A and B are shown apart, each in its own frame.
Chain A
Amino acid sequence: MADMDLVRDVLDKQLIDREGGPMGRADGLVMHYGEKSQPRITHIEMGGATLSARLHPVFERVWRRFARMWGPGRVEPVRIPWSRVKTIGRDIKLDVAAAESGALAWELWIARHIIERIPGSGRHERHRGD
């Protein structure tokens, strides 16, 4: 198999779950290295903490404080094991169910607490169309 440039070909790419739905982007890459073992990429990381840390530590601190006070209570980034990566092309296809991975924690929280409370959000019609 050919080489892959992690920053060019993996980082910041769109992640697609098992069902073909978008589940965020590859916000970070985690490498594991032990005393004796070769360093290797183990996880794709996503979430506000990873993203804000890429800008500045101050942003990360602000984000963490905000996420503790408000929202689904998910502060730590979501980690997807590298073994779940199916293909990397235009997008990264994962063998993961988005809803179970925690990647949609904010999506679901905002849906439940804000959007579905507004009339006409389609919450009740949802299953009919599918």
Chain B
Amino acid sequence: MRLKRFLQITLGIVTSVGGFLEIGSITTAVQAGAVFGYQLLWAILLGTICLIFLVEMSGRLSAVSKHTIVDATRDRFGFPFFAIILVGMVLVSFLVLVAEIGGIALSLQILTGIGFPWWAIPVSVGVWLLIWKGTFSLIENGVCILGLVTISFVVAAIKLHPDWSSVATGFLTTVPHANKTRYGFIAVSILGASISPYLMYFYSSGAIEEKWDESYLPINRVIATIGMSFGGVLSMCVLVVAALALRPRGLDGGKFEQGALMMTTALPKWGFYLFAASMLIACLGAALEISLAIAYFFAQGFGWNWSENHEPAKDARFCFVYTIIILLAAVPLLLAFDPIRITIVSMALTSAALPLAIIPFLFLMNDPQYLGKHRNGWIANTVVAVIILMSFVLAVISIPLEIAGG
């Protein structure tokens, strides 16, 4: 039993590799490092702290109330309000899914030389097949083990010998003298990339699939902290590598190939392949998670049968939703929309949509009907509310400015 509980940490790591470290956090960290050096490290730190709290809450809600977040939201707030959240979250998550499938396609493009639009269909069919035939633990353990390749970002950061004291100054929030709009916009995108609501839906559904009860609360806290810190540290290393490898060359990190370039600078022999493999695994993990999260959202919200462990014929509507969503996600890529642009836009939109997902969630987390004595304390409430409102305000200011600035 002990060992089994210990293995549950894999849920945290997979949630982290798939949900935290994905095309969003990698792309935004590369851009931040390339353009602003270490100056935006604080945004990753803030996002990570907020996410640790939110993931812990998601697990706690499921373990104590036996409700998933979506389930409890419909239950507590009624259908009309639920419908608004459903539309908002599904739209944003869908855009992120397009970006993730694009990330896999771009990795295959740099590995094979065949353009990413050609990969759109094979990749989405592959993602679909893994969900269709795989079980929850197969997805979980597979992504978890393969995801260890992303540690190469840590190795790369150390190999470039950063000046650690100047890295440390990046954790202090500073406003640059020039390029303020860009700075604000990248900060918003980083927050949106770190605090992904779909990750919470995935995690809370996972806790129900694995039949958590109150005895899981301590391990839940460990999973949330270790898992999300793991993702956060990896993102920070990506930023550090970009700051050291791309910034001196005057590159802005806006191209996928620059990611490969920065890894080759640090690790000349393997850097290229490690970058491609890391992107591939991280985006694949995220694509699986988002597709499931969207299907969970519908199934739980409407009270259908749902389980990733059932044969598809047993939960037809659940399977129908992810099948349609994954197929649709291939369309923008077939039309050769740039996945990196889709990523940046979807991350900023996630930031702007955060209050819609998080504020009702905070209400739930303070409701004694659901959580009894395990409801939120004031620290958790304050930390999450402040960070969410901050990223929302930043998003509302910087998105129009970014659009106006081109």
Binding site for B on A (CB under 8 A): 7, 11-15, 21-25, 27, 51, 54-55, 90, 106-108, 110-111, 114-116, 118, 120-123, 125-126, 129
- Is the pair B79, A27 in contact by a Cβ cutoff of 8 Å? yes
Report B-chain residues with C-beta under 8 Å of the C-beta of A111: 313, 316
- Is the pair A106, B313 in contact by a Cβ cutoff of 8 Å? no
Of A13, A15, A121, A126, the most chain B CB neighbours within 10 A belong to A121
- Is the pair B311, A125 in contact by a Cβ cutoff of 8 Å? yes
Main secondary structure of the interface of A (DSSP, over half): mixed
In chain B, positions 90-140 with a C-beta closer than 8 Å to chain A are 132-133
Taken together as a complex, chains A and B put the C-alpha atoms of A90 and B306 apart, in Å, by 18
- Is the pair A121, B313 in contact by a Cβ cutoff of 8 Å? yes
Report B-chain residues with C-beta under 8 Å of the C-beta of A118: 132, 312, 323
Report B-chain residues with C-beta under 8 Å of the C-beta of A114: 316, 320
- Is the pair A14, B303 in contact by a Cβ cutoff of 8 Å? yes
Taken together as a complex, chains A and B put the C-alpha atoms of A125 and B310 apart, in Å, by 11
Residues of B in contact with A, size category: 20 to 34
Instruction: State the total of A-B contacts with C-beta under 8 angstroms.
Output: 77
- Is the pair A122, B317 in contact by a Cβ cutoff of 8 Å? no
Q: B247 at the A/B interface (Cβ < 8 Å)?
A: no
Report A-chain residues with C-beta under 8 Å of the C-beta of B80: 54-55
Which of the candidate stretches B32-40, B44-52, B67-75 sits at the interface with the other chain?
B67-75
| Given known contacts A14-B71, A14-B303, A55-B83, A120 and B312 CB-to-CB distance under 8 angstroms | yes
Report A-chain residues with C-beta under 8 Å of the C-beta of B314: 122, 126
Q: B363 at the A/B interface (Cβ < 8 Å)?
A: no
- Is the pair A12, B320 in contact by a Cβ cutoff of 8 Å? no
- Is the pair B66, A90 in contact by a Cβ cutoff of 8 Å? yes
Taken together as a complex, chains A and B put the C-alpha atoms of A22 and B315 apart, in Å, by 10
Taken together as a complex, chains A and B put the C-alpha atoms of A14 and B373 apart, in Å, by 24
Taken together as a complex, chains A and B put the C-alpha atoms of A77 and B383 apart, in Å, by 44
Closest-by-CB residue of B relative to A56 is B80
Report which of A7, A24, A115 forms a contact with B319, defined as CB distance below 8 A: A115
Q: Which 6 A-B pairs have the closest CB atoms?
A: A122-B311, A111-B316, A25-B303, A121-B312, A115-B316, A110-B316
Report A-chain residues with C-beta under 8 Å of the C-beta of B316: 107-108, 110-111, 114-116
| Given known contacts A51-B79, A54-B80, A122-B311, A106 and B317 CB-to-CB distance under 8 angstroms | yes
- Is the pair A107, B304 in contact by a Cβ cutoff of 8 Å? yes
Report B-chain residues with C-beta under 8 Å of the C-beta of A121: 311-313, 319
Report A-chain residues with C-beta under 8 Å of the C-beta of B79: 12, 27, 51, 54-55
Closest-by-CB residue of A relative to B306 is A22
Taken together as a complex, chains A and B put the C-alpha atoms of A21 and B307 apart, in Å, by 12
Taken together as a complex, chains A and B put the C-alpha atoms of A121 and B75 apart, in Å, by 31
Report B-chain residues with C-beta under 8 Å of the C-beta of A22: 303-306
Q: B65 at the A/B interface (Cβ < 8 Å)?
A: yes
Taken together as a complex, chains A and B put the C-alpha atoms of A96 and B132 apart, in Å, by 30
In chain B, positions 55-89 with a C-beta closer than 8 Å to chain A are 65-67, 71, 74-75, 78-80, 82-83
Taken together as a complex, chains A and B put the C-alpha atoms of A55 and B23 apart, in Å, by 36
| Given known contacts A115-B312, A115-B320, A11 and B302 CB-to-CB distance under 8 angstroms | no
Taken together as a complex, chains A and B put the C-alpha atoms of A7 and B74 apart, in Å, by 12
